[in-house]
Structure formats: C-alpha cells, structure tokens
Amino acid sequence: SEIFFRTIVWRSPSSFTKRTLELLNALNGYNEPALDVLLMLSTEPEHPWNAELLHRNLIDKTMSQRDYEWSIIIANKDFEEQDGEPESIVRTLIDWACFGDIREIEDERARLCAITLFWFLTNSNRKIRDQSTKSLVRLLCTFPHLLDGLIDKFNKVNDLYLLERLY
C-alpha cells in the first residue's frame, strides 16, 4: 500500500478508473495516506480525484460520520515544516491560498481550492477554520465570480461551522 500512495499522485488522470478508487477505498478510504493523496490532487482541474470527489463524499455524511472520517484527521494533519519534515498538505493548501501567487492560476484550480478550503471549515480546530477563512477571502477576492456558485454548492451543508463562515 505504501507504493500505491507514493506513486498515485504521479499517474496520468486518464489512468484513474473505478478500480483505482476501489483500491483506495480498500486501503481504508479516508485514512491518513489516502487523505493526503486526495488533498494533493484536490486542486487539479480535470482530475477524477479532485475536490469534486471530496465534495461528493462529504456532502451527504452526517456530522458524526464526517467528523470521524474527515474533520478529526484534518485537525491532526495541520503542521508546519520542522525538524526537516515537510509541512502537511493541509498547511500547504491553506498557506498557498493565503500567501501564494494566485493571480495567474486557472479559474478551475481556484474553484477547486476553494471547495477544499470550505470543507476545512467543518473542523473543530479554530486555527484551521480561521486560517481557511482568511485563505478563502483572499482567493474569492481574486476570483469573485466564483462566489455565487460556491454559495449554492455549500448552502445546504449540515455543519454550522461551515455555514457560519459561508454567510
């Protein structure tokens, strides 16, 4: 399974099939390595495992299911670079949207990043929610035309943390 997780992000999007997703799910679905892979691919336009897959999998979950399979893991994955270890993909996405050069990115990449950051708002970790909110503000001030579609996408989510920051 370690080889699967190390190599999957380098595969062509066209090589992803239903069987590839079955293999990911067989390796415990949203466990830590699988979630890293999904987050690494979350901003890739045209990729079958981008943020739209996260959204489809998280939107219909109960809050307790989502907390167990998503929010708790995300809360534990927020760490910065230290002692030679790279920062987490959670931290990379938050910091990239907040401090990176996003002016020239494709609209679709910005939209996918925003979807991922909106899902970070379901977290009980206030630091993640606050910094994801700041990142969303910067991203959506740069790409304001994306906001209406994202509000429509998230306005029925059953999570008060997310809804509080959506409006």
Residue labelled with tokens 């993909």? 89
Query: In this predicted model, what pLDDT tens digit does every residue of 121-134 receive, in sequence order?
Result: 999 899 999 999 99
Q: Which residue has the tokens 């079955």?
A: 22
Q: Please tell me the distance from the alpha carbon of residue 103 to that of residue 107, in angstroms, as a whole number.
A: 10
- pTM recorded for the entire structure: 0.88
Residue 31 has pLDDT above 60, yes or no: no
